[in-house]
């Protein structure tokens, strides 16, 4: 545990939540992807189901962890954070925000009257994708606040909107 605390610059025990949560979420993602592969190769309800799922999950887990550690090294100097564990929190916020905004776009599209069944896909899908953008912006700052990274995400949001020519939206 001491090695993890030193590596991620953890001062207080509650900060261990972020490396543990990050590892669990990567594990869950690897499992979900391996289950998709299982169905893709029609190995569901066979003798190979669990060995395949466990093997692919472990392999994907280690690949994703290595990829994320590489990303941390690349972004470490670019993102201004006080401690390394905050980078894990930032990655978790990006992941959760992207997933939630993608899931919420469908119900929001239906709420404003765009139904997948009654309209052309050429209209429905661009509208749904366009709805993701404002949802993402709002949720990014909200989840950033929940995970204790409000300052980082508020500055990130302002910078992004200015680059897109939408800086007038910022008070």
Q: With contact defined as beta carbons under 8 Å apart, do 88 and 7 qualify?
A: no
Which residues are CB-contacts of 76 (< 8 A; sequence separation ≥ 6)? 84, 87
Span 20-44, pLDDT tens digits: 999 999 999 999 999 999 888 888 7
Q: Which residue has the tokens 């929190």?
A: 89
Q: How far apart are CA 166 and CA 93, in angstroms?
A: 23
The least confident of 33-42, 101-110, 113-122 is 113-122
Q: How many Cβ atoms are within 10 Å of 86's Cβ, its own excluded?
A: 20
Q: How far apart are CA 143 and CA 99, in angstroms?
A: 12
The yes-or-no verdict on residue 167 having pLDDT over 80 is: no
pLDDT at 127: 87
Span 119-138, pLDDT tens digits: 888 988 888 888 898 899 89
Share of the chain above pLDDT 70, in %: 100
The yes-or-no verdict on residue 116 having pLDDT over 90 is: no
Q: Which residue has the tokens 């993701």?
A: 132
Share of the chain above pLDDT 90, in %: 47
pLDDT at 61: 97
pLDDT at 163: 87
The yes-or-no verdict on residue 64 having pLDDT over 90 is: yes
Span 54-63, pLDDT tens digits: 999 999 999 9
């Amino acid at each position: 545990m001491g090695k993890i605390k030193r590596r991620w610059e953890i001062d207080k025990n509650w900060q261990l939540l972020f490396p543990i949560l990050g590892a669990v979420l990567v594990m869950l993602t690897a499992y979900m992807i391996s289950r998709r592969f299982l169905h893709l190769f029609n190995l569901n309800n066979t003798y190979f189901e669990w060995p395949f799922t466990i093997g692919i999950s472990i392999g994907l887990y280690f690949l994703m962890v290595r990829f994320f550690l590489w990303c941390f090294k690349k972004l470490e100097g670019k993102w201004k954070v006080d401690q390394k564990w905050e980078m894990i929190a930032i990655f978790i916020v990006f992941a959760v925000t992207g997933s939630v905004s993608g899931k919420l776009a469908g119900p929001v599209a239906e709420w404003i009257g765009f139904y997948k069944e009654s309209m052309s896909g050429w209209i429905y899908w661009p509208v749904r994708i366009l709805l993701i953008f404002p949802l993402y912006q709002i949720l990014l700052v909200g989840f950033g606040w929940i995970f204790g990274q409000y300052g980082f995400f508020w500055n990130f949001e302002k910078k992004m909107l200015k680059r897109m020519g939408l800086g007038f939206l910022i008070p």
